[in-house]
Chains A and B, each alone.
Chain A
Amino acid sequence: MATKPEDWNFPGGVDCAYCGQRVEVRAFPAIQQESRGERPEAILGAGEAGCYYHPQNRATVPCDACGRFLCALCDLPLDGQHLCPPCVDAGVKGNKLAAADTSRTYYDSVALGFATWPMLLFYFSLFTAPVALYYVIRYWKQPQGILPRTRIRFVLAAILALLQLGMWVMIAGAIIWQMMRSQGGAR
């Protein structure tokens, strides 16, 4: 930050000396702390347990997932648990770690988009309505994300898609009935 420390925590902020724009900095005690890495301790006696991945280091905690002893270097605290690197990797791949959950796809919005936007050009709805229904059925039970979200979009998408399909069925039925009438009249 280009703002000087004496201007931090100044109510209303100050004008930046370089660009003249108003800048406000709200600092907290963590800014004064130096970040220090944990150093593992060496095993001193035969009775001490060693780390599974570094046998020469003293174990401090067991992994909450696999139970292996871990030194300070291998201990990865996440979501209130102590985990080893392979368990973190498995948790990320298996989508079991909340801290590793960094993105989600909103399939309900995708389904609603397939059910609504093609109505601008009605003919596309013949193909997009089944796609919308597929998304509703396929992803109905999938967790929506870590933030509160209802399934109203899935419901709306299903209703619209069914209405569109119903309309296409009626159109097809009307065409077939008309063809049958014209053939009967020709006879």
Chain B
Amino acid sequence: MAAYQYRRLLPRERGILRYAELWAADDHLLSAASTRLAVAYQRFPLAEIQAFSITTLPHWTFPQLAWLFLSAALFLVSVLAPTLPFLQVLFGGLAIWPLLLAIREVWRGPRCRVYIHTPTGAHLLPAVARQARVDEFLAIVTPLVEGVQGHVERMAITERTVEHPEEVARQQIGQQRGLRLFAFGALLAEGLFYTWEAAYPALGRKPEVIIVGFGVYLVIVIIMVTVWRQATPILRRDRVYTLAGAALALALAELVFAVAAGFIAAFRFGAAGDLTWITTVSAAWRIPLALAALTIELRRK
């Protein structure tokens, strides 16, 4: 079997269970994607590479927020186990790791997708997943390709599209309406739930009520984040997303404060801290915001 001499072009792009690498031989690029137990190769002859397309993804993505919520959930579990100090320490320690992963995710900057276009189609390059690495990638790979194919200047205008971007955005706003109605309605219901709980503090202090309420809250926030993540920058300028985004930001702040207050109270007084005043204040702001978003969505044609 003919053996090629490969040289690494970029540092390894690491995930939790996977990593990806980009190598080059004399006449082709090699993309290697590994699950740490196996590796899959893709070869791209330099003479056949038509283009690279790089798309920047939204900065706040689901993985970042999922790690934050997992960390918050583990902290809350440690708070709700006041009679078992060992579990408090265990879950409190476990909560640190997803928090560090979330911080690492934000530190590494926005994600991107790089596709390599060949006559056989467009292929994702997993080795370039961060916008911060794109310039380095292009600086290394472009000379390799142009060394084989030559350089081409910016294309002459061949055809223009006539679709108006605002019209396209309006069509997109009309889609996924059911999901947004569900998410905004759930956010409103969650705010009302915590307000009702504040009116009956004895009921609100029961651990099972707190756990169920937190679970519902977590699902609502994850749905909201998913809806937000699917929204494009054009959609996010829409009023309903601005209002819902403000409600979501308050909900996130409430969660962080509540977990931190409960964690501190548990270690100081040996019992779960009183969280109702935090949720009441936050719910007082969240309810009108969610109500306004829901009203706008219902009145939209």
Q: CB within 8 Å of B: which residues of A?
A: 1, 3-6, 8-10, 13, 16-32, 35, 79-81, 95-99, 101-106, 109-110, 113, 145-148
Tell whether, in the assembled complex, residue A104 and residue B39 are in contact, meaning their CB atoms are under 8 Å apart.
Answer: yes
Tell whether, in the assembled complex, residue A147 and residue B21 are in contact, meaning their CB atoms are under 8 Å apart.
Answer: yes
Pull 30 A–B residue pairs with CB atoms less than 8 Å apart, ordered by A: A1-B51, A5-B159, A6-B154, A8-B51, A20-B232, A21-B55, A21-B56, A21-B58, A21-B232, A21-B233, A22-B55, A24-B53, A25-B53, A27-B152, A27-B155, A28-B50, A28-B51, A28-B152, A29-B150, A29-B152, A30-B48, A30-B49, A30-B50, A97-B2, A103-B41, A105-B37, A106-B39, A146-B30, A147-B21, A147-B23
Point out which of B30, B58, B155, B161 has the most chain A C-beta atoms below 10 A from its C-beta.
Answer: B155
A30–B149 alpha-carbon span in the complex (Å) = 7
Tell whether, in the assembled complex, residue A5 and residue B157 are in contact, meaning their CB atoms are under 8 Å apart.
Answer: yes
Q: With a CB–CB cut-off of 8 A, which chain B residues contact A8?
A: 51, 154-155
Contact of B6 among A9, A19, A35, A148 (CB under 8 A): A148
Tell whether, in the assembled complex, residue B53 and residue A29 are in contact, meaning their CB atoms are under 8 Å apart.
Answer: no
Q: Could you mark each residue 211-240 of chain B with 1 if its beta carbon is under 8 Å from any beta carbon of chain A, else 0?
A: 000000000000000000000111000000
Q: Could you mark each residue 21-38 of chain B with 1 if its beta carbon is under 8 Å from any beta carbon of chain A, else 0?
A: 101000000101010111
Cβ-closest chain B residue relative to A24: B54
A21–B131 alpha-carbon span in the complex (Å) = 12
Q: Which of B122-143 contact A (CB under 8 A)?
A: 134, 138, 142
What's the tally of chain B residues with a CB closer than 8 Å to chain A?
A: 56
Tell whether, in the assembled complex, residue B38 and residue A104 are in contact, meaning their CB atoms are under 8 Å apart.
Answer: yes
Is the C-beta of B298 less than 8 angstroms from some C-beta in chain A?
no
In the complex with contacts A5-B157, A8-B155, A28-B145, A106-B36 CB distance below 8 A: yes
Contact of B161 among A17, A25, A99, A104 (CB under 8 A): A17
Q: Tell me how far the C-beta of B49 lies from the nearest C-beta in chain A, rounded to whole angstroms.
A: 6
A22–B29 alpha-carbon span in the complex (Å) = 25
A25–B134 alpha-carbon span in the complex (Å) = 12
Is the C-beta of B202 less than 8 angstroms from some C-beta in chain A?
no
Q: With a CB–CB cut-off of 8 A, which chain A residues contact B23?
A: 147
Q: With a CB–CB cut-off of 8 A, which chain B residues contact A13?
A: 54, 56
Q: With a CB–CB cut-off of 8 A, which chain B residues contact A101?
A: 1, 41
A31–B158 alpha-carbon span in the complex (Å) = 14
Q: With a CB–CB cut-off of 8 A, which chain B residues contact A145?
A: 39
Q: With a CB–CB cut-off of 8 A, which chain A residues contact B159?
A: 4-5
Closest 6 CB pairs of A and B: A20-B233, A5-B155, A31-B50, A19-B232, A79-B2, A27-B51
Contact of B55 among A9, A23, A28 (CB under 8 A): A23
Cβ-closest chain A residue relative to B166: A17
Cβ-closest chain A residue relative to B36: A109
A16-B55, A27-B152 given; 20 more Cβ-contact pairs under 8 Å: A5-B157, A6-B157, A8-B155, A21-B232, A22-B55, A23-B56, A25-B51, A25-B52, A26-B54, A28-B51, A29-B150, A30-B149, A31-B152, A99-B43, A103-B40, A106-B39, A109-B36, A145-B39, A147-B6, A148-B6
A60–B297 alpha-carbon span in the complex (Å) = 69
Tell whether, in the assembled complex, residue A20 and residue B3 are in contact, meaning their CB atoms are under 8 Å apart.
Answer: no
Q: With a CB–CB cut-off of 8 A, which chain B residues contact A146?
A: 3-4, 6, 30, 41
Tell whether, in the assembled complex, residue A22 and residue B56 are in contact, meaning their CB atoms are under 8 Å apart.
Answer: yes
Tell whether, in the assembled complex, residue B6 and residue A26 are in contact, meaning their CB atoms are under 8 Å apart.
Answer: no
Is the C-beta of B274 less than 8 angstroms from some C-beta in chain A?
no
Q: With a CB–CB cut-off of 8 A, which chain B residues contact A9?
A: 152-155
A13–B145 alpha-carbon span in the complex (Å) = 19
Tell whether, in the assembled complex, residue B138 and residue A110 are in contact, meaning their CB atoms are under 8 Å apart.
Answer: no
